[in-house]
Amino acid sequence: KGGKLLILPGDHIGPEVVHEALQILDIIEESTGAKFEREFDLCGGCSLDKHKDSVTEAVLKKSEEVDAVFFGSAGGPEWGHSQPNPESGLLRIRLRMQIFANLRPCNFVSKSLVHRSPIKEEIIKGVDFMLIRENCGGAYYGNKIEEEDYGCDPWEYKRSEIERVARVAGALAMQHDPPLPVWSADKANVLASSRVWRRIVHEIFDKEFPKVNLRDQLADSLAMLLITKPTAFNGIIVTDNTFGDILSDESGGLTGSLGLLPSASLAGAPAAPGTEPTQGRNNAGGVRGLYEPVHGSAPDISGKGLANPAAQVLSLAMMLRYSFNMHREADLVEEAVARVLNSKEDGGLEVRTGDLGGKAGTKEISEAIQGEVRRL
Amino acid sequence: KGGKLLILPGDHIGPEVVHEALQILDIIEESTGAKFEREFDLCGGCSLDKHKDSVTEAVLKKSEEVDAVFFGSAGGPEWGHSQPNPESGLLRIRLRMQIFANLRPCNFVSKSLVHRSPIKEEIIKGVDFMLIRENCGGAYYGNKIEEEDYGCDPWEYKRSEIERVARVAGALAMQHDPPLPVWSADKANVLASSRVWRRIVHEIFDKEFPKVNLRDQLADSLAMLLITKPTAFNGIIVTDNTFGDILSDESGGLTGSLGLLPSASLAGAPAAPGTEPTQGRNNAGGVRGLYEPVHGSAPDISGKGLANPAAQVLSLAMMLRYSFNMHREADLVEEAVARVLNSKEDGGLEVRTGDLGGKAGTKEISEAIQGEVRRL
Ligand SMILES: CC(C)[C@H](C(=O)O)[C@@H](O)C(=O)O
Ligand SMILES: CC(C)[C@H](C(=O)O)[C@@H](O)C(=O)O
């Protein structure tokens, strides 16, 4: 059990929270006998400082060879005018690894954090969907034109790009009994790429996932409905790179705790427990992927021991589940985080950082999570 | 005073609410002596039925000649598979009229509706921004490619398209003392068109609106911040067609009352009271524009007398203000709507439709608004 990791802590709070998450991995190794070979390298501002590039060819190469990449966060004001920008490192890794499916869960890890949502409790309570953003195509990649008086980004999709991300949505839906409903969000009333998207998504579901209830949803009205009726989308949402970028950040706002949001970017559909992935398989029998918290590098609190490591730890849980088929351990880590954050009333430890209304620092949270992981 | 109107009631509840809004216009005519020449025509499903096209050349031509277009709503399930779709009529009018600036206010017309927002009162109270969406360019127009296995929408902007919409934002900001802050939302960290957008918006503000505080805001993180800190954007947000489409519907969700959201699409920057527009001027000395509620044609409640006419009436107010320089009358209509919707506690009439928790029908609301307009 286990495998090869490339660890890219990145900038500012990135290294701080990655360090804490790796303590949890140590405990998992001890208790399960799994071994995770860890190689550290640079991406983002730190790579710009050292190599004058946001990521080097050597790192890109390694990212293709390992079983999973564990990423912190990249960027900061000191590289505000850098060419290339620090974020471009991540974009290039995504493309190189062909991690075309970006998964962002929208739910409450800890029940007693529901009241921290900007949305009224009766509306947001019980929200639980997975947003899948196509992550290697559309307007964010391709042959851009940038001139003095003109700019163009071709927003394009070809069949294979749509099919593979549709399959991730279908496979995840089928891991539940009954299968989860899937919403495919597009603007087929306006965009040609959306019309092709919609048609091909339906073809794949008709052929390969006939049991899944697939519905089309216009992306603009989805942006409204996610606020007014978020639980109506409990299940899976799959959408293109641009809409996914906006809608996934909107979903992050719904729960109101940026410090708790993990993400996974996968090179294939995750296999159900006990089976193996058919695309993007790594040497560990899971799917190749990159795991990172949604929050950025938070330069304002970096170096102060204040950053909440929970999102990074939850990203680790996603990594154990999707890239290493360690489903039990993934559940366990998530449960540990929930217990630490939960209020005392609800039987939790109520250890929380400032962003969640608490007073704990990075270390305290981390140690509390470690304690729970050991106990479970 | 007054001028020429093209009225396109459209489908389903469109004609019902347009009819009520025009009663208000009658009262304005009586009390001010203004004359509005009204020509009615078809756009949307009704045009498809009669002319096999979502809008005819004759209507497009008229839309260019009148001072303003007053639009209901287009579409419905009966045209779900029509080629072209009913919405395309509106897209073609937008392009033909060159109404490149879509204005969507996000605020509470009536204070006592704050509690109906899905967002907690302490977070949403006092929200008041105007979102300006570029409406004739970007990915939604241009040379699309739609094939069996491939689709492409060029997301492109040229200097003139960016300059003119930036000027609308600047002009609106300058109508306040001190000027309102402006946020320009883009994805300059990824998109070439966004980088050109950002640079040109800054050039225009530096040269023409040096007193306005202009800030850049990434569109994805804006989608999150609009939920967690909506009042932080009180002022003006200007953004491209795609981001604007999603973010304006998201903003609609914030207040939670779709039946109350008006919109204006303008062919130039509105002039300050007492001055004249420099671009898109109509024969009435205002700016050419199309006015429509944000809600769709609501086929489920059409023909039942249940539709809330408030958004259509508020769109009329925007028309009086921007296309006919009737600022006082515009304020008056908005005040009348507020008084009708306001709770009795707050000195209002508390006449509300089902979507706002009330029992009133279309007629009742309309008559109450008429009564208030007469009284004011
Ligand atoms: C940093 C940026 C390039 C990136 C994106 O837009 O893809 C980020 O916003 C994200 O959502 O992961
Ligand atoms: C109907 C559709 C073409 C339109 C758009 O996307 O522009 C609508 O969603 C809107 O926002 O006005």
Condensed to tens digits (0 to 9), the pLDDT of residues B275-285 reads: 889 999 999 99
CA-A241 nearest atom, ligand 1? 7
pLDDT tier, B343 (very low <50, low <70, confident <90, very high otherwise) = confident
Is there a catalytic annotation at residue A249?
yes
pLDDT at A111: 84
Helices (H), chain A: 13-32, 45-51, 57-65, 87-97, 121-124, 159-174, 192-208, 219-228, 241-255, 310-324, 327-341, 362-375
Q: Verify whether the Cβ–Cβ distance A149 to B139 is below 8 Å.
A: no
- Closest-CA residue of B relative to A90 is B190
Instruction: Return d(Cα A256, Cα A124) in angstroms, integer.
Output: 11
Instruction: Return d(Cα A92, Cα A264) in angstroms, integer.
Output: 16
CA-A135 nearest atom, ligand 1? 7
Q: Verify whether the Cβ–Cβ distance B153 to A191 is below 8 Å.
A: yes
The closest ligand to the CA of B71 turns out to be 2
Which residues of B form the catalytic set?
A: 140, 187, 220, 245, 249
Instruction: Return d(Cα B202, Cα B210) in angstroms, integer.
Output: 10
Per-residue HEC secondary structure of chain B comes to: CEEEEEEEEECCHHHHHHHHHHHHHHHHHHHHCCEEEEEECCCCHHHHHHHCCCCCHHHHHHHHHCCEEEEEECCCHHHCCCCCCCHHHHHHHHHHHCCCEEEEEEECCCHHHHHHCCECHHHHCCCEEEEEEECCCHHHCCCCEECCCEEEEEEEEEHHHHHHHHHHHHHHHHCCCCCCCEEEEECCCCCHHHHHHHHHHHHHHHHHCCCCCEEEEEHHHHHHHHHHCHHHHCEEEEECHHHHHHHHHHHHHHHCCHHHCEEEEECCCCCCCCCCCCCCECCCCCECEEEEECCCCCHHHCCCCCCCCHHHHHHHHHHHHHHHCCHHHHHHHHHHHHHHHCCCCCCCCCCCEHHHCCCECHHHHHHHHHHHHHHC
| From B87, B93, B153, mutation site for ligand 2 pocket: most ligand atoms within 8 A of C-beta | B87
pLDDT at B291: 98
pLDDT at B46 over 90: yes
pLDDT at B355: 83
- Closest-CA residue of A relative to B230 is A118
pLDDT at A273: 79
Among residues A266, A271, A279, the alpha carbon closest in space to that of A238 is found at: A266
For residue B188, the distance in angstroms to the closest alpha carbon of chain A comes to: 10
Mutate to test the interface with A, among B191, B233, B297 (most CBs of A within 10 A): B191
Range B1-113+257-376 classified under CATH 3.40.718.10: yes
Domains A1-103+257-376 and A118-255 share a fold: yes
pLDDT at B273 over 90: no
Q: Verify whether the Cβ–Cβ distance A144 to B192 is below 8 Å.
A: yes
The closest ligand to the CA of B87 turns out to be 2
pLDDT at B332: 97
Mean of the per-residue pLDDT values of chain B: 95
A154 vs B123, B152, B247: nearest CB: B152
Q: Verify whether the Cβ–Cβ distance A196 to B149 is below 8 Å.
A: yes
B144 vs A145, A152, A192: nearest CB: A192
For residue B145, the distance in angstroms to the closest alpha carbon of chain A comes to: 6
pLDDT at B372: 96
For residue B340, the distance in angstroms to the closest alpha carbon of chain A comes to: 24
What confidence tens digit (pLDDT) does each residue in B180-205 have? 999 999 999 999 999 999 999 999 99
The closest ligand to the CA of A92 turns out to be 1
% chain B with pLDDT above 70:
100
> Domain A1-103+257-376 falls in which CATH fold?
Isopropylmalate Dehydrogenase (3.40.718)
Domain ranges of chain B: 1-113+257-376, 118-255
What's the B246 CA to ligand 1 centre distance in angstroms? 17
Q: Verify whether the Cβ–Cβ distance B193 to A153 is below 8 Å.
A: yes
- Closest-CA residue of B relative to A153 is B155
pLDDT at B145 over 90: yes
- Closest-CA residue of B relative to A83 is B189
Instruction: Return d(Cα A206, Cα A217) in angstroms, integer.
Output: 17
Q: Quick check: A368 and A349 in contact, CB under 8 A?
A: yes
DSSP class of residue A119?
B
Q: Verify whether the Cβ–Cβ distance B152 to A149 is below 8 Å.
A: no
Is the shortest distance between the CB of A232 and ligand 2 below 6 Å?
no
Q: Which residues of A touch B355 (CB under 8 A)?
A: none
A227 vs B118, B157, B200: nearest CB: B118
Residues 6+ apart with CB under 8 A from A375: none
pLDDT in tens, chain A (376 residues): 899 999 999 999 999 999 999 999 999 999 999 999 999 999 999 999 999 999 999 999 999 999 999 999 999 999 988 999 999 999 999 999 999 999 999 999 888 899 999 999 999 999 999 999 999 999 999 999 999 999 999 999 999 999 999 999 999 999 999 999 999 999 999 999 999 999 999 999 999 999 999 999 999 999 999 999 999 999 999 999 999 999 999 999 999 888 899 999 999 999 887 888 999 999 999 999 999 999 989 999 999 999 999 999 999 999 999 999 999 999 999 999 999 999 888 889 999 988 888 899 999 999 999 999 999 8
Range B118-255 classified under CATH 3.40.718.10: yes
| From B220, B221, B224, B225, mutation site for ligand 1 pocket: most ligand atoms within 8 A of C-beta | B220
pLDDT at B100: 98
| From B54, B71, B79, B90, mutation site for ligand 2 pocket: most ligand atoms within 8 A of C-beta | B90
Describe the strand order of the beta sheet including B35-40 as a list of residue ranges.
B35-40, B2-10, B68-73, B289-293, B262-266, B101-107, B128-134, B235-239, B182-186, B214-218
